[in-house]
Amino acid sequence: MVDVKMDEVLASVAETIKNFAVIYLVDITEVPDFNTMYELYDPSTIMFFFRNKHIMIDLGTGNNNKINWALKDKQEFIDIIETAYRGARKGRGLVIAPKDYSTKYRY
């Protein structure tokens, strides 16, 4: 169910962010080396890359490598993408999210 919600958000923002970001869907069963390298085991995971470099984003959750829950708000997701893009363009390997997610989602 998480996959479907996140897929809808991804599809709905693709046109809006097309000037500064591209969304790629990767089947983790086809690239198992990638799974080990980035510890991919959740149903849905979002990661950010800029010029072949992994961009980490501090969301307040302790996991700066990826987003592994479904974001339901399109504008919230666009804000995260814009923040990651701006930070990556400035040469930062770690950017701070526009919002703290540490208390919103319970793990």
Q: Where are the domains of the chain?
A: 2-96
Q: Which residues, including other chains, have CB under 8 Å from residue 70's CB and lie 6 or more apart?
A: 2, 5, 6, 9, 44
The residues, any chain, with a CB within 8 Å of residue 93's CB and separated by 6 or more, are 53, 54, 55, 56
Residues 29-83: tens digit of each pLDDT:
888 888 888 888 887 889 999 998 999 999 888 888 898 888 888 999 999 999 9
CATH superfamily of 2-96: Glutaredoxin (3.40.30.10)
This prediction has a pTM of 0.83
pLDDT in the model for residue 7? 86
pLDDT score of 84 more than 90: yes
Give 2 or 9, the one with higher predicted confidence: 9
Q: What are residue 58's DSSP bridge partners?
A: 96
